[in-house]
Chains A and B, each alone.
Chain A
Amino acid sequence: GAVVSQHPSRVICKSGTSVKIECRSLDFQATTMFWYRQFPKQSLMLMATSNEGSKATYEQGVEKDKFLINHASLTLSTLTVTSAHPEDSSFYICSASSGGLAIQETQYFGPGTRLLVL
Chain B
Amino acid sequence: GQNIDQPTEMTATEGAIVQINCTYQTSGFNGLFWYQQHAGEAPTFLSYNVLDGLEEKGRFSSFLSRSKGYSYLLLKELQMKDSASYLCAVRDHEAGSYQLTFGKGTKLSVIP
Is B42 touching A111 in the complex (CB atoms < 8 A)?
Answer: yes
Verify if A99 is at the interface (C-beta below 8 Å from B): yes
Is B104 touching A43 in the complex (CB atoms < 8 A)?
Answer: yes
A46 partner residues in chain B, CB cutoff 8 A: 99-101
Residue in B closest to A59 when the chains form the complex, CB atoms: B99
Verify if B87 is at the interface (C-beta below 8 Å from A): yes
- Spot the interface stretch: A62-70, A74-82, A101-109: A101-109
Q: Of A43, A99, A110, which is in contact with the most chain B CB atoms at under 10 Å from its CB? A: A43
Is B98 touching A32 in the complex (CB atoms < 8 A)?
Answer: yes
Scan residues 24-81 of chain B and give those whose CB is less than 8 A from a CB of chain A: 30-31, 33, 35, 40-45, 48, 50
Residue in A closest to B8 when the chains form the complex, CB atoms: A41
A61 partner residues in chain B, CB cutoff 8 A: none
Residue in B closest to A111 when the chains form the complex, CB atoms: B42
A108 partner residues in chain B, CB cutoff 8 A: 45
Is B96 touching A44 in the complex (CB atoms < 8 A)?
Answer: no
B50 CB to nearest chain A CB (Å):
6
Residue in A closest to B33 when the chains form the complex, CB atoms: A106
Q: Which listed residue (A49, A93, A104, A111) contacts B48, Cβ 8 A?
A: A104
Given contacts A43-B87, A43-B104, A103-B31, 17 further A-B contacts (CB under 8 A): A32-B98, A34-B100, A42-B104, A43-B102, A45-B102, A49-B96, A49-B99, A93-B42, A97-B98, A106-B33, A107-B98, A109-B42, A110-B42, A111-B42, A112-B40, A112-B41, A112-B42
B interface residues (Cβ-Cβ under 8 A, vs A): 30-31, 33, 35, 40-45, 48, 50, 87, 96, 98-105
